[in-house]
Structure 1
Amino acid sequence: MKRRIVALSVIAVGLIAAGGSCKPRSFPNCDAMHEQFQGGVARVGAVDYRPNGGTAKYKPYYSDAWYNANTARDRDNDGIACEQ
């Protein structure tokens, strides 16, 4: 029983520490964003509209917090920043 409590405590501390290091940050440009998110970042529920049809090469990471930190990178205002 004591081992179980210790193991759960270690896991809980690890999860708390990991959550704090993943705060959304603003990227200086799309190349910097693509190092972490190949398909860019998007608001939850955003859809990529392309005038000539077609689709993006990579799927974006859906997170309102990450998108809000990088709205300046969304040139076409479709809710997806740095899509490719």
Structure 2
Amino acid sequence: MKKVLAVVLGAGLIFGYTSYDTAEAKSKVKTYKNCTALNKDYKGGVAKSSKIKNKGGKTKYKPYVSAKLYSANKKMDRDKDGIACEK
């Protein structure tokens, strides 16, 4: 009986720790108020993939690639080319 209880408690601790860790990782993606605020941290904007090409013309800076950061700030991609706040 003690062995079964020890296994159940151990499994509960392991699964509880991993779910807490993934929930914490999801909350670290920052949402910006506007492009000026985003460009202070990422001068070239944020792209959802490294294969995305800018459709808006010539840019000065290369965008930072992050699918999670892009999806959190997708509303700022006005030309819908996959790069938010490109400069």
Structure 1 gaps of 5+ residues are 1-19
Matches within 5 A, 1:1-84: 23-44=28-49, 45-50=51-56, 54-84=57-87
The DSSP-based 3-state class of the residue aligned with 1:55 is coil
CA distance in 2, matches of 1:24, 1:55: 28
In the alignment, residue 47 of structure 1 is paired with which amino acid?
K
Structure 1 runs (4+) deviating above 6 angstroms are: none
Alignment length, in residue pairs?
Answer: 63
Q: Which has the higher helix share?
A: 2
**Which structure is larger by alpha-carbon Rg, 1 or 2?**
2
CA distance in 2, matches of 1:23, 1:78: 25
Question: What's the % identity of the aligned pairs?
Answer: 44
- Aligned-residue offset at 1:24: 1.6
CA distance in 2, matches of 1:40, 1:23: 18
Structure 2 gaps of 5+ residues are 1-24
Query: Structure 2 length normalisation: TM-score?
Result: 0.65
